[in-house]
Amino acid sequence: MSSPSEAEASAQSLVGKKVFFLHPHSVIKDELLARVIAAEYEVYTLKDRERALNILRRFPESILFINIDAGMKEPEWEKYVRHIQDDAELSSTRLGILSYNNDKELMQKYLFEIGIPCGFIQLKLGLEQSTKIILTALRANEAKGRRKYVRVNCERDGKATLNYKSDRGVANATIIDISSAGLACRFLSDPGLTPKTHLRNIQLKLRGKLLQIDGILMGPRSDDPNVWVMLFDPKTDPNHKATIRDFIHTELQRHLEDIDI
């Protein structure tokens, strides 16, 4: 397994840090992650602690929240955490702990003796407080980088498309990449449009999920006149944005699981 190139490291710094949750509780996976994703962080879940180490080597300066209530006994998790901090290839990882254990001595051990930077989140405090602590840790560790929105590339299997009715009939395009703020798409034929065209009732098909949305075609890319950039209407239904974010998270997770490490 090769180390990340300088170009990859630079790209990671530009777009922000990946946020991993290892062995997340069901309540974390079903509810808390949705809130973190809605805050535009790039979130993944991991199920295998050994593969997790290889993922962290592949993506240095990531953030990892570990559920110490599952997979191993707590003393083994302590060894795992110390190993990450002591390994030169892993030591740039920022760690946080998730647990329903409200033992203050256990919390103090991880926070002060071991020195994890992203907090010991006592889940018994409730969903709202746990989310607040995690989001505070992510902000403190500049997890977003310089980007405002998480974006995913959709080209590899063509499962994200759009169409709309125009004077020329139905215009179809393949979505190249998408965020909750907009997308880039490749039209199958010249759409005959001008920049700043406001389109209504665009149908997005995101791996089988359908939704209608309004948008503004900002213009074609300079390197390919068939690729247009579109911004979604600021008044877009929040439920539509949630569907788009869910698609982005699913695709990013799919890409991660396809990495051969």
Task: Please provide the DSSP assignment of 19-59 as one string.
Answer: EEEES--HHIIIIIHHHHHHTT-EEEEE--HHHHHHHHHHS
Contact (Cβ atoms closer than 8 angstroms) between residue 48 and residue 2? no
User: What does the pLDDT read at residue 13?
Assistant: 57
- According to DSSP, the β-strands at 197-206 and 209-221 are antiparallel
Position 175 scores a pLDDT of 96
Distances (CA, A) of 203 to 146, 161, 194, 208, 260: 30, 8, 20, 12, 34
- For 97, half-sphere exposure in the C-beta direction (CA atoms, 13 angstrom radius) is 26
Prediction pTM value: 0.90
- In order of start, what are the domains of the chain with their CATH numbers? 6-140 (3.40.50.2300), 152-258 (2.40.10.220)
Question: What is the reported pLDDT for 157?
Answer: 78
Residue 235's nearest CA partner among 209, 213, 210, 218 is: 213
User: Rounded to an integer, what distance in angstroms lies between the CA atom of residue 93 and that of residue 96?
Assistant: 10
Q: What is the mean pLDDT of the chain?
A: 90
Asked if 205 and 161 count as a contact pair (C-beta separation under 8 A), the reply is yes
pLDDT of residue 170: 86
SS3 state of residue 202: strand
Q: Do 90 and 52 contact (CB within 8 A), yes or no? A: no
> Do 14 and 148 touch, CB atoms closer than 8 A?
no
Give the residue ranges of the chain where pLDDT is below 70: 1-13
Using the CB atoms, write b or e for 41-64: b if 16+ within 10 Å. Answer: bbbbbbeeeeebbebbbbbbbbbb
What pLDDT sits at residue 1? 42
Q: Which pLDDT value is given to residue 6?
A: 52
Q: Check if the beta carbon of residue 242 is closer than 8 Å to that of residue 213.
A: no
**What pLDDT is stored for residue 182 in this prediction?**
97
